[in-house]
Structure 1
Amino acid sequence: MQIKGQAAIVTGAASGLGQATAHVLAEAGARVTILDVNEDGARAAARAIDGLGVACDVTSAESVSDALRQAEAAHGPARICVNCAGIVAGGRVVGKDGAPHDLAVFSRVIAINLIGTFNVMSQAAAAMVGLGDLDGDDHERGVIINTASIAATEGQVGQVAYAASKGGVASLTLPAARDLARSGVRVACIAPGLFLTPMMEGLPQDVYDALIKKTLHPHRMGRPEEFGRMVRALIETPMMNGSITRLDGALRLEPR
């Protein structure tokens, strides 16, 4: 799909990977709407790319529906949807104090990372399938790209909630692509490794240094704009459908 002139939605784009993706898509000529629970952050990020910033709770069907309506009113029907909204919360199945994992924390991670991704994906797809085919031989109507993590298959100690949520996102990819194939909507997924996002920037120096030691080549953390460029490549490559793309510089996570 050619990005220029298309309307795009990016969740979790007030910062980090989502914000970088919004910039890449805008530079490619898309009309971008940034959705984020942080309304001020969404609006500020949108101003930088001449886009639209909308407050959105991805766990709420009503909030997502309202946000998508605002996006369509401003930019027209979205052909591109990128889901980057997510959180991280640590905790073992049984903690060092002998207590079980806090169920409320586990549920919140699943609700935002997995259910939130599905909520936005399904509503965006429902709008896409009603659109006409784009020009060309591939009968495309839209592209949805979700964000998993290499933790989906290599979750470390204390990552049960995060790994489970991202494993779910990864597992959505192929069945969703199969569900939507007849309607000309592609679904792809990126599983990033260690990226220099606000979450990583807040780590203590010794923890940061220890993580860098695990990287291979390039021997550094990924840059958010590299994630954005991968999103662009997937959108522009019609054969990328139903696949999970690792973006990790050959990193494989150890148990801890």
Structure 2
Amino acid sequence: MKLDGNSAVVTGGASGLGAATARALAAQGVKVAIFDLNAEQGEAVAAEIGGVFCAVNVTDDASVDAGFEKARAAHGQERILINCAGTGNAFKTASRHRETGKISHFPIEEFDRIIQINLVGTFRCVAKSAAGMLTLDVQEDGERGVIVNTASVAAEDGQMGQAAYSASKAAVVGVTLPIARDLMSEAIRVNTILPGIFNTPLMNAAPDNVKEALAASVPHPKRLGNPAEYASLAVEMCRNGYFNGEDVRLDGAIRMAPR
């Protein structure tokens, strides 16, 4: 797809992978709208790249609709959607406390929360963005639009406590090909990236010894991923017109251990 002059929406664009992608797209001449809940960081990134910030909760229909309305008023209908909004938690399915013997299970409301954000929130933005893309003409390069979703290596090798997170990300992987097939006759492509362990703000909060141990577990290169490397792949998935229906790990060849 021709990038220069087109419009994009990046969910979760206020920090981490989303912010890096917003910057990378803007550097290619794309007009970027950032969807996020963090207004302070979102406004800062938008000002930096000449974009627009939209306060959006991806679990809420009205909030997402309002975000797309604001983004399109500023930049026109987007041809690019990058979904980076997401979160995680950690609870064992069922467990026994070593000292007290008390038995507990995964809080069902926490399982549902992760599914609603990571899976339903992603699909909500995909469906609404794709519907908007259908109003556009096909470009000279044969493209009408492109969508890139974010899963995780946990979709394939989730660790202890990651039942909800792994389920949500595996589902994002699972819907990639069906959505690509749904939209194939409309010249809209869909791909998904499965990042490994990346040096995001969330990871920055971890102690140095934890980050060093995680970096050492990556086969090669033995370091955490750089958000710019995610952004580079996302941009290539937009640019390369033959990239469609794919789920690609970006992880330094790591395979996550049980814990």
Scaled by the length of structure 2, the TM-score of the pair is 0.96
Aligned Cα root-mean-square deviation (Å): 0.9
Q: Which runs of 4+ in 1 moved over 6 A?
A: none
User: Partner of 1:185 in structure 2?
Assistant: 188
Question: Which residues in structure 2 correspond to 1:100-179 (within 5 Å)?
Answer: 100-136=105-141, 139-179=142-182
User: Partner of 1:6 in structure 2?
Assistant: 6
User: Partner of 2:34 in structure 1?
Assistant: 34
What is the percent sequence identity of the aligned residues? 44
Partners of 2:202 and 2:242 lie apart in 1 by: 33
Write the letter of the residue equivalent to 1:164. Answer: A
Write the letter of the residue equivalent to 1:105. Answer: E
User: Partner of 1:225 in structure 2?
Assistant: 228
The answer as to 2:57 corresponding to 1:57 is yes
Q: Aligned to 1:48, what secondary structure does the other structure show? A: helix
User: Partner of 2:17 in structure 1?
Assistant: 17
- 1:54-75: CA deviation from partner (whole Å, max 9, x where unpaired): 1000011111111001101100
Query: How far is 1:143 from its partner?
Result: 0.2
Q: Aligned to 2:112, what secondary structure does the other structure show? A: helix
Partners of 2:37 and 2:202 lie apart in 1 by: 16
Q: Is the 8 A contact 1:129 1:184 kept in 2?
A: no
User: Partner of 2:213 in structure 1?
Assistant: 210
Write the letter of the residue equivalent to 1:123. Answer: K
**Which runs of no fewer than 5 residues in structure 2 stay unpaired?**
98-102
Partners of 1:202 and 1:162 lie apart in 2 by: 20
Scaled by the length of structure 1, the TM-score of the pair is 0.97
Write the letter of the residue equivalent to 1:3. Answer: L
Partners of 1:165 and 1:205 lie apart in 2 by: 29
Q: Which moved more, 1:64-73 or 1:38-47?
A: 38-47
